[in-house]
Amino acid sequence: MRRITWMMSAVVMAGLCSGLSLRAEDAPPAPAAGGGGNRRQFDPEEMRKRMQDRMKESLGVTDDEWKALQPKIDAVQKAQMASRGGMRGMFGGGRRPGGQNNPQNAPAAEDPNAPPKSDIEKKHTALQTLADKKDADEKAVKDALKDYREARDKAKVDLKKAQDELKELLTPRQEAQLVLMGMLE
């Protein structure tokens, strides 16, 4: 159950940060009768809106207060995703060559609609490529590992800065709510 909850959280965060929207005409067809036809299609934008409405309600803020908080909250969410560098691969950034999901041992095609990769994602991909090669040059692996760690550390600093800027606008109760939601430490 924890794994499912974590995966759902990760999918929601990916939707929040990617800014993707799924229009009705782009959605896959509804299942045939008897196959759960009453289920609604997943709409990341609708999910994002509902999450924001719940967050706004939990924080007990007015529309004007929300206008000030929302950009800071968005910045924290974006920084959280960046600090988890390399996570995009789980959600459409391509599968690892040779992995279970790729039996032909061919790299998956990049999604042309995906947002550009962040620096940490690029470093993650470079490190992953070298780590997958059994005969990779040790110096190249060490350099890629150093580059990835530096990018990850920078992303963590950026996250801390975004969180501190958000905290400046919060009451203690609101800060507690965001800590409980996993947005602040």
Domain limits of the chain? 2-20+43-105+114-180
Q: 114 with 94: CB under 8 angstroms?
A: no
Two tokens, residue 143: 């350099």
74 CB contacts (<8 Å, ≥6 apart)? none
Residue 98's pLDDT is what? Answer: 43
Q: What angle do CA 43, 158, 121 make, to 5 degrees?
A: 60
Mean pLDDT of 39-49: 80
- CA 129/CA 94 separation, integer angstroms: 12
Q: Within a 13 Å sphere around the CA of 159, how many CA atoms are in the beta-carbon half?
A: 19
- % of the chain residues with pLDDT over 90: 41
Residue 145's pLDDT is what? Answer: 94
